[in-house]
Amino acid sequence: MKSRKMMFVALVLVLAVILGGCSWNTPVEEFEVGLKLKSGTEIVEILPAGRHSAMGWYDEIAKVNVSALTVQWEDPDLVTKDKQEIGFSVQVTFSRDRSKVREMWQEYKYEATSDEALMAQVLGRVPRVAKAVTTQFTLDEMLGIDEDGVSNEALGREVVTQKIEEYLARELGEIYCILKDVGINNIAPDGEYMDLLGRKARAQVSVEVAREEKKLADVQVDTEKAQTEVALEKARRDRLVAQENAKVYETNPGWLQLQIWEAAKEVFAGDNVWFIDPNTDLTLLFGVDGATPIPVTTP
């Protein structure tokens, strides 16, 4: 009985030693890639998500995180193409290249399994990319302003971001990573430049206001000219009508007498009683020919 117990204990110890030198039923998550390693160094197999075992002596399974990682970097003292000092802040999102984990393990073993080490590696490459890009643009171009001080969609952060992506993608490719996104958080000119930019913007607004006011004044002048022309044309036509009417009186005395009678009818219309002084000269009011007497008081 005693010998059996001793054999059992010995068997347990042997199994513990054996199992201690291998990996058993190790989980690999969806955001990971498994590496089956021989003697802890040589990659025997790339393992997908699931549970895996490595039963060889000193074999093990290492896991590489291929999910997205994000770092932020900023520098208050970058310089633009026109030698303007700016603060610059950028955010970078990247991941290990799932298809290149073998190469990454061989060249950057520590960075392959340590997210902190990899982020430090990326942060070491961002500054030289940012400095190389900012010196290609003037400050106005980085802010999206053209040479005339007008906002221009062809310039600005989007263009700068594209250039950073181009450079940084190559840098990260060298350490077997994929660039997923770059975002410029801030471009901060110094206070003197911002004051100058504000003055320029206010001057530009003043010019626009003056231009619009001139347009309005021009419209008002044109309107007044048109109204004057209409009034002149109306006066001209009234004058022509008066001239034509005068010709009628000159050529047709009877028409003049008719108009006088029409006026007299309005004067003497109604139930009024008219008293005419006997000394009144009626011929002076009704016409020079004496045919139509109208009372006119003789002094």
Packing angle, helices 191-251 and 253-268, rounded to 10: 100
Place of tokens 């009818």: 265
- 298 pLDDT band, cuts 50/70/90, is very low
104-112 — which CB contacts under 8 Å span 24+ positions? 104/64, 104/175, 104/176, 105/35, 105/43, 105/62, 105/64, 107/175, 107/176, 108/175, 108/176, 111/175, 112/62, 112/64
pLDDT over threshold 90, residue 264: no
Q: Do residues 188 and 86 touch, judged by C-beta distance below 8 A?
A: yes
Q: Are residues 167 and 160 in contact, defined by beta-carbon separation less than 8 angstroms?
A: no
Sheet order of strands, 60-65 included: 42-47, 32-38, 60-65
Percent above pLDDT 90 for the chain: 31
At residue 248 the predicted structure's pLDDT band, cuts being 50, 70 and 90, is: low
Dig out the tokens for 121 from the structure: 């590696």
Domain 69-189 maps to which CATH number in 1.10.10.10, 3.40.50.720, 3.40.50.300, 3.30.479.30?
3.30.479.30
Give the pLDDT confidence score for residue 136 in this predicted structure.
Answer: 93
Which tens digits make up the pLDDT trace of 79-136? Answer: 999 888 899 999 999 999 999 999 999 999 999 999 999 999 999 999 999 999 999 9
The C-alpha angle with vertex 190 and arms to 159 and 146, in degrees rounded to 5, equals: 35
**What's the pLDDT at 19?**
45
User: Can you tell me the mean pLDDT for 211-230?
Assistant: 81
For residue 155, the tally of other CB atoms under 10 A from its CB is 18
Q: How many CB atoms lie within 10 A of CB 212?
A: 10
| Both tokens assigned to 272 | 């009024």
What's the average model confidence in pLDDT over 252-267? 66
- Quote the DSSP letter at residue 299: -
Q: Give the pLDDT score at 9.
A: 44
Cα-flanking dihedrals φ and ψ of residue 22, to 5°?
-145, 175
Tell whether the model's pLDDT for residue 152 goes beyond 60: no
Domain range list for the chain = 2-64, 69-189, 191-251, 260-286
Q: Which residue has the higher pLDDT, 250 or 13?
A: 250
Provide CB contacts within 8 A for 268, sequence distance 6+.
274
Please state, in angstroms and rounded to a whole number, the distance separating the CA atoms of residues 134 and 99. 32
Cβ atoms of 298 and 280 closer than 8 Å: yes
What does the pLDDT look like over 267-295, one tens digit per residue? Answer: 666 665 555 666 665 554 444 454 444 44
Residues of the chain above pLDDT 70, percent: 63
Average pLDDT of the chain to the nearest whole number: 77
Q: What is the DSSP string of 90-156?
A: EEEEEEE-GGGHHHHHHH-HHHHH-HHHHHHHHHTTHHHHHHHHHTTS-HHHHTTB-TTS-B-TTSS
219 to each of 163, 226, 230, how far by Cα in Å? 48, 10, 16
Confirm if 142 and 80 have CB atoms less than 8 A apart.
yes
